[in-house]
Amino acid sequence: MIELINVKKVFNAGRPSEFTALGGISLNIEDRKVTVLKGPSGSGKTTLLCIIGCMSRPTAGRVRLDGREISGLPERFLTDIRRKGFGFIFQVPNLIRGMSVLENVMLPAYPLGEPHARLKERAIRGLNDFHVSTKATSKVEWLSGGEAQRVAIVRALINDPDVIIADEPTAHLDTHLSYLFMEIVENFKKEGKTVIIASHDPLVCESRIVDSVINMRDGRIEGESS
Amino acid sequence: MDYETQMRSPIERQRGIIDFTLSSLMRRKVKNVGLLCLYALIVFILASAIFFTSSIKKEASLILRGTPEIIVQKMAAGRHDLFPLRDMEAVKNVRGVAAVEGRLWGYYFDDRLGANYTLIVPPAARSSAEPSEARPLFWFNAAALEPGTIVIGEGVARVGKLSKGDSIAFTAYDGSTIDLKVADTLSSKSELVSSDLILIGEEDFRKLFDIGKDYATDITVEVKNPREIPTVASKITRVLPDTRPIVRDEILRTYDSIFNWRGGMMIVILSAAILAFVIFAWDKASGLSAEERQEIGILKAVGWETSDVILMKFWEGAIVSLTAYFAGVILAYVHVFLTGSLIFEPALKGWSVLYPHFSLTPFISAEQLITLFFLTVVPYTIATIVPTWRAAIIDPDAAMRQTGE
């Protein structure tokens, strides 16, 4: 369970350009469910995802992960929680050009010190699960949009996280690929993973596999629907 | 995590990060190879200069070990003149002087080969000397040096394609020809000293240059107490005001001022190389490319810590700089000690006509290598890490907001 208690995020505090991205959010996100943060751009979805995923800290308020408060932890601990507990799928695949698919997938696990052979085996298995293992040695710039996103998903799963965070994952996908993505999300749910998606794509928000939709606007929650 | 994994993880972590670093370097192959070449070139120039100068100083110390403590030259109108042997008595009487000896030496230009030889009449007392630490310069079979014969240095033998038994025709002061037979060639610890050398008998020397029996080229003075050398030198000037004493330390100082860190050609080479290095390091330190910044953003977003990114950049800097360092040092070694300082030779050695085959005795100290290391590898590695640190401390959520383009 992820609990947010009156979470605020202010950028450039004290300066003329001060901007409040989140204005006091209180929210509970249940385990093994698919939650969608829905809202127009500028509503604070990505900022909220970053705070949930330990990528940034709130200016005020508390974040609890399985009952443990994590909002005040120093960067090292946050990173540790992030890389073991969270997998990120970005709006664009964010793969490193010039490197092979396999290397990109193994990237998040390098600093963890797992034996190379075991890591490689796991990465190949992941690529296999998403039908991109034939591309393992290809450079990422040679991939199609759909393949690149699947590789990014395998990378997000390499450390076997409990929570998958996806920021506008269908923004650059056509309808067919978007449906495929939602099938992948369904499988995550079956495997018992918690999925949090920021999106305003109706195809995502209205999907039958989504358990809860949080409506956001101007850094606040407008309502929640299940 | 099991026990085995825990034990192996620090090494595996380094390995994983080095793997990424190597593949990072390979991705920008052209840029990095160019960088490596430039870097290795700077190290090569610096190392060559250091090896060359320290070895030539070492050679100089070899030469000086055999040099007399004081050489006294006669001056006439500000120029070096022949020394009248009758004046030797006055020098002998100076308190502190142990021995005085006249020397005969000069230069001979061989217009047939276009080479300049140094002709020396070996002092009688030394002609039978065996090679020893005290007389390390050269030695020869004195019995072979009979009137009408000469002993030649390796350079002379090489240039004139001469060997034992051949003759060299010398043109004397009056235009007549004197044939001198090669009795032997010199063996020497330092070819720098003996390459252009010809040892000649006193009689033949005087005949060749028309130098009377009462004159020598200059005289050498041995001093009882080495600490009194400057005093003895000044006393000689007082007794014989038209002479110039040259103290061994002065020669050493001359070598030093030409070849040490702060003097002569070294300062030119060093400052040029260091300037190039500063520009090069500054370019690295002044920032990362947009592509590198984006990569750091991605790495942080996928779970790398600031310290992981810095470690990666440290390895990148270390791999580039160590490779360049070793390549530069090895090339410099080959350049200085195996190819005879091909590039520096004409500029630094100043051998006017007859170039010795200049194989310097390899002389490298740990101090030189460490100095070079701290001049190159350390600043470069720091220059690589600093901008990375600035980029790596950004919040990982920056990557979330990137459009990826």
Question: For residue range A160-178, what is the model confidence (pLDDT) as tens digits?
Answer: 899 999 998 888 888 888 8
Residue B154 banded pLDDT, cuts 50, 70, 90 = confident
Residue B240 banded pLDDT, cuts 50, 70, 90 = very high
Residue B127 banded pLDDT, cuts 50, 70, 90 = very low
Residues 6+ apart with CB under 8 A from B236: B70, B72, B91, B94, B221, B243, B245
pLDDT at B204: 92
How many angstroms away from the CA of A30 is the closest CA of chain B? 23
Over residues B78-90, the mean pLDDT reads: 91
Cβ contact A56–B302 (<8 Å):
no
Residue A82 C-alpha from the chain's centroid:
10
Chosen for mutation from B29, B32, B310, B400 (greatest number of chain A CBs closer than 10 Å) is B400
Residue of B nearest to A153 (CA): B302
In A, which residues are within 8 Å of B24 by CB distance? 99
Cβ contact A76–B8 (<8 Å):
no
How many angstroms away from the CA of A164 is the closest CA of chain B? 12
- CA B19/CA B26 separation, integer angstroms: 11
Which of A12-21, A189-198, B255-264 has the lowest average pLDDT? B255-264
Cβ contact B397–A55 (<8 Å):
yes
User: Who has greater pLDDT, B156 or B243?
Assistant: B243
Question: For residue range B181-213, what is the model confidence (pLDDT) as tens digits?
Answer: 998 887 655 555 667 788 898 899 999 999 999
Cβ contact B20–A155 (<8 Å):
no
Would you call B397 an interface residue with chain A, using a CB distance cutoff of 8 Å?
yes
- CA B135/CA B132 separation, integer angstroms: 5
The one-letter code for the residue type at B44 is F
Answer for the pair A104, A140: CB distance below 8 angstroms, yes or no.
Answer: yes
Which of A83-97, B224-238, B338-352 has the lowest average pLDDT? B338-352
User: Who has greater pLDDT, A85 or B273?
Assistant: A85
Over residues B286-292, the mean pLDDT reads: 74
Both tokens of B349, joined, read 């050695």
Residue A60 banded pLDDT, cuts 50, 70, 90 = very high
Rounded to whole angstroms, what are the CA distances from B43 to A44, A196, B163?
A: 53, 54, 42
Cβ contact B15–A116 (<8 Å):
yes
User: Tokens 């998606």 identify what position?
Assistant: A197
A54 SS3 class: coil
How many angstroms away from the CA of B283 is the closest CA of chain A? 23
Residue of B nearest to A84 (CA): B303
Over residues A189-202, the mean pLDDT reads: 93
The residue ranges of every structural domain in chain B are 3-62+258-400, 97-223
Cβ contact A159–B303 (<8 Å):
yes
Rounded to whole angstroms, what are the CA distances from A206 to A35, A209, A212, A226?
A: 11, 9, 10, 10
Interface size between A and B, measured as CB pairs under 8 A: 110
Instruction: Name the average pLDDT for chain A.
Output: 89
Please tell me what DSSP assigns to residue B335: I
**Sign of the alpha-carbon dihedral angle for B200, B201, B202, B208:** negative
Both tokens of B292, joined, read 């590198």
Over residues B117-142, the mean pLDDT reads: 55
User: Tokens 């901008």 identify what position?
Assistant: B387
Both tokens of A205, joined, read 């928000």
Helical residues (DSSP H) of A20-144, grouped into ranges: 45-52, 75-85, 101-106, 116-129
**Sign of the alpha-carbon dihedral angle for B135, B140, B141, B143:** negative
Residue B60 has pLDDT above 60, yes or no: yes
Which of A167-171, B132-136, B191-195, B332-336 has the lowest average pLDDT? B132-136
Answer for the pair B26, A97: CB distance below 8 angstroms, yes or no.
Answer: no
Cβ contact B400–A92 (<8 Å):
no
Answer for the pair B106, B283: CB distance below 8 angstroms, yes or no.
Answer: no
pLDDT at B405: 34
Number of residues that this document lists for chain B: 405
Over residues A82-111, the mean pLDDT reads: 88
Q: Is beta strand B115-121 parallel, antiparallel or unpaired with respect to B138-139?
A: unpaired
- CA A205/CA A39 separation, integer angstroms: 10
Query: For residues B156, B199, B74 and B115, what is the CA-based torsion angle, rounded to 10 degrees?
Result: -10
Q: How many CB atoms lie within 10 A of CB B143?
A: 10
Would you call B171 an interface residue with chain A, using a CB distance cutoff of 8 Å?
no
Would you call B28 an interface residue with chain A, using a CB distance cutoff of 8 Å?
yes
Domain A2-225: homologous superfamily in CATH: P-loop containing nucleotide triphosphate hydrolases (3.40.50.300)
Q: E-assigned strands of B144-217? A: 149-152, 167-171, 177-185, 187-188, 197-200, 215-216
pLDDT at B136: 39
Answer for the pair B73, B246: CB distance below 8 angstroms, yes or no.
Answer: yes
pLDDT at A193: 93
Over residues B100-121, the mean pLDDT reads: 87
Over residues B90-106, the mean pLDDT reads: 90
Which residues lie across from B247 on neighbouring strands?
B70
- CA B335/CA A161 separation, integer angstroms: 57
> Which among B399, B405, B276, B361 has a CA at the least distance from the CA of B55?
B361
Cβ contact A110–B306 (<8 Å):
no
- CA B102/CA B289 separation, integer angstroms: 72
pLDDT at B132: 40
Residue A54 banded pLDDT, cuts 50, 70, 90 = confident
- CA A22/CA A6 separation, integer angstroms: 9
Residue B130 has pLDDT above 70, yes or no: no
Residue B252 has pLDDT above 90, yes or no: no
Chosen for mutation from A75, A110, A158 (greatest number of chain B CBs closer than 10 Å) is A110
Question: For residue range A135-154, what is the model confidence (pLDDT) as tens digits?
Answer: 999 999 999 888 998 899 99
In B, which residues are within 8 Å of A90 by CB distance? 301, 399-400, 402, 404
- CA B219/CA B215 separation, integer angstroms: 10
The residue ranges of every structural domain in chain A are 2-225
Cβ contact B305–A75 (<8 Å):
yes
pLDDT at B346: 63
Helix (H) and strand (E) counts for chain B? Answer: 13, 14
Residue B144 has pLDDT above 80, yes or no: no
Angle between helices B306-333 and B3-27 (to 10 degrees): 60
In B, which residues are within 8 Å of A98 by CB distance? 27-28
Instruction: Name the average pLDDT for chain B.
Output: 78
Both tokens of B236, joined, read 């000689």
How many angstroms away from the CA of A150 is the closest CA of chain B? 15
Chosen for mutation from B11, B302, B315, B395 (greatest number of chain A CBs closer than 10 Å) is B302
How many angstroms away from the CA of A197 is the closest CA of chain B? 13
Cβ contact B301–A98 (<8 Å):
no
Residue of B nearest to A165 (CA): B400
Cβ contact A92–B27 (<8 Å):
no
pLDDT at B42: 85
Cβ contact A114–B5 (<8 Å):
yes
Of A55, A97, A112, the CB nearest to B396: A55
- CA A161/CA A126 separation, integer angstroms: 13
In B, which residues are within 8 Å of A88 by CB distance? 301-302, 400
Q: Is B26 exposed, middle or buried (0-12, 13-18, 19+ CB in 10 A)?
A: exposed
Cβ contact B17–A111 (<8 Å):
yes
Pick the CATH number of B97-223 from 2.40.50, 3.40.1000, 2.40.40, 2.60.40: 2.40.40
Both tokens of B63, joined, read 């030469």
Chosen for mutation from A37, A96, A97, A120 (greatest number of chain B CBs closer than 10 Å) is A96
Answer for the pair A203, A179: CB distance below 8 angstroms, yes or no.
Answer: yes
Would you call B401 an interface residue with chain A, using a CB distance cutoff of 8 Å?
yes
How many angstroms away from the CA of A50 is the closest CA of chain B? 6
- CA B138/CA B195 separation, integer angstroms: 11
In B, which residues are within 8 Å of A50 by CB distance? 395, 397, 400
How many angstroms away from the CA of A124 is the closest CA of chain B? 17
pLDDT at B195: 72
Percentage above 70 pLDDT, chain B: 79
